[in-house]
Chain A
Amino acid sequence: MFLKPQPAKAAAAPKHTIDPQTQPWVEKYRPKTIDDISAQEHTVEVLRKTLVSANLPHMLFYGPPGTGKTSTILALSRQLFGPEHFRTRVLELNASDERGISIVREKIKTFARQTPRATSGSEYPCPPYKIIILDEADSMTQDAQAALRRIMETYARITRFCLVCNYVTRIIEPLASRCSKFRFQPLDIASTRFRLEHIASSENVPISPEAIAALIATSEGDLRRSITYLQSAARLSASATSPAPITPREIQEIAGVVPDVVVSSFAATLGVDMDHGMDMDLDDGPASKGSKGFDHVRGKVQEVMKDGYSAAQLLSQLHDLIMLHPTLTSRQKSRCALILAEVDKSLSDGGDEELQLLELGLRIHKALK
């Protein structure tokens, strides 16, 4: 039982590299060297120096998802140790591994205290220390983090830690102060576009500039997300009976974005004056205003829920729509912002989607009257 998985894992790993067909593009196009990393010039600059001097501090990478944190450390350690020493010198632990305090005490400590064997004749720098990568470190418990403190110091001579996380605030202060911090910024539009076009052209995916723009807009600086969407869209268009170029609408559907029509009709129900001005309003006329208000809003909410759109997604799109709305007064906007924030909090606390959406609808309706 306990022995069985081991050989299978060993067998799975080489296959992983052999079979690029089924590989996600995110893995396939993961940067091989740190020079390939997009848009994190400052971090790359610092790390390049460590490659030359072969010395490395403890590091803490933080930033929003999909900005290249894991890729950077993997590429760096690959460049430091080369493929054959990579396995013995790098321990990668992430949230899918058990990472309670017991693992910190046993597995991490055992690995940390091993003295690396001296290597010679390698073309890689192969410095005399090992790297422990703790991916998604913000999901480690406080206790487990506390247990790391002393380990980091004691074995600092032979082991370097690299903590990777989204929220630097969830790393306890003593740990954070032991590391040099690197902030990863969301990717700018130009480098995302460059990367996506590169992948699209090497995979022979016909994609229009508008569709790429849609990809960038829906992924909000998360390169991984945009690559995954690109792959999904490419799969769909390639497997369709008549191959067609990818349209922005398809991208939105894949990304789970609520169509603009639905958002604006929802907003109109809430009494947000849609751009076309007065005459539109007269068409819906009494239905959207006055005494029928409650039932109208309720009907609309039920309709949206039936279509299966996600409330959180609708919320964020509605937020964009209201905040950028040309005719609402600042006072109305700030009232809406308050309501949106409260409903979002309730949703993330686990509130019922339909009730919360109804609550949102009714309150905005009231605030705008």
Chain B
Amino acid sequence: MSLWVDQYRPRTLDDLHYHPELSARLRSLAASGDFPHMLFYGPSGAGKKTRIACTLRELFGPGVEKLKIDQRVFMTPSKRKLDVNIVQSNFHIEITPSDVGIYDRVVIQEILKEIAQTQQVDLSAKQRFKVVIINEADSLSRDAQAALRRTMEKYMSNMRVILCANSTSKLIAPIKSRCLLIRVAAPSPEEMGVALARVAKKEKFDLPDEAATQIVSDAAGNLRKAILILEALKMQSPDLTSNISVAKPDWETYCIKVADLILQEQSAQRVMLVRGKLYELLSHCIPPTTILKTIASHLVDRVDESLKADIMHWAAFYEVRMCTGSKKIFHLEAWVVKVMSLYKHFFYGIDMPDDFEI
């Protein structure tokens, strides 16, 4: 039995619940036979992949759902071997090049050239081209993006690229100008409510309004999360009565605990304690940016108005440091210490030099 998220994922463009004008646009593009390269972008859980899958189905028919997973080995110029998992059907191929870190360029070059240089031999095929889906395109390295540029133009006759990204900020302009940009916004609360009700109806149970509202507010625009929560809740209390509490994931409660620790006491010992907790979180593979953001957002809910801006400012500051640096824990700790000192100074009414005026 699969998760509800997968089980009730819309399969065709007609099944999509929201953004009807976008679906109409995709459908007409798929029908026109003149299909461009595309770049889907939007927050996570908004339905980018679902839309891509639906578009593919519209293009090639149900054959695209027959997937097989391959493991391919690539060789870097320095003779290092890379194992990459590739999901493919007869009509498309899906890769996540960012899995291999800085060697993503090699994967992109090899795969694209291979696809681009083979032709569709079946004359009765619906489309003359194959589709390459590149996931997490925003974490592609500059080199890999540069490698895409000319290939996308040159092999247009037998290949189309669909990029899937959270944001277009990190994509270089030449890539953006070669793609049709498709923005998939997060669903509004009402649309999420409708989607949840659909799932509930298909599972044959009633979803009380309060429960739905709470789930929607908790998921914050992430439909995947909403459906996952719904399923979890249904497991916990089958009748879904009004008195439910949406369980937070463990790491989040842990982050809240850290935020509490920071506010309770500001001392060297406390920093050590927090450090242990941060290490714990990091060792469970929670992305450091997520840790920082979660703790920060819990902190600002609890401190005085005049401190909020400062805390966020330093969070942003150390987050960038974290990206450019190599050791994450240093920057997380630096931020914690900074927040503690800000808080303490505020508490004892000592004036801090205004750090904003640099």
Contacts and interface: CB of A to CB of B under 8 A. Distances in A.
B149 A351 contact: no
Contact of A238 (B32, B148, B289, B309): B32
B109 interface: yes
Interface residues of A, number: 75
A15 B157 contact: yes
Nearest to A305: B43
A217 interface: no
Given A5-B114, A5-B117, A355-B315, A235 B34 contact: yes
A277 interface: no
Contacts of B170: 348, 350
A356 B170 CA distance: 14
Interface string B161-196: 000001111100110111011011110000000000
B174 A65 contact: yes
Contacts of A87: none
B323 interface: yes
Nearest to A17: B157
A356 B316 contact: yes
A286 interface: no
Given A15-B157, A354-B293, A135 B150 contact: yes
Contacts of A305: 43
Contacts, number: 198
B351 interface: no
Contacts of B109: 96-98
Interface in A299-334: 302, 305-313
Given A136-B146, A294-B300, A350-B323, A22 B157 contact: yes
A259 to B, nearest CB: 11
SS class, residues of chain A in contact with chain B = helix
A175 interface: no
Interface of B: 24-25, 28-29, 31-34, 36, 41-43, 46, 77, 109, 112-114, 116-119, 128-129, 142-143, 146-151, 153-158, 166-170, 173-174, 176-178, 180-181, 183-186, 220-221, 289, 292-293, 296, 300, 305, 308-309, 312-313, 315-317, 319-320, 323-324, 356
Given A219-B177, A313-B168, 20 more contacts: A5-B118, A22-B33, A23-B156, A95-B143, A96-B146, A96-B150, A98-B77, A225-B173, A231-B36, A232-B36, A239-B31, A293-B309, A308-B167, A308-B184, A350-B170, A351-B316, A351-B323, A358-B312, A362-B309, A362-B313
Closest 7 CB pairs of A and B: A308-B42, A239-B28, A359-B316, A225-B177, A312-B169, A95-B146, A239-B32
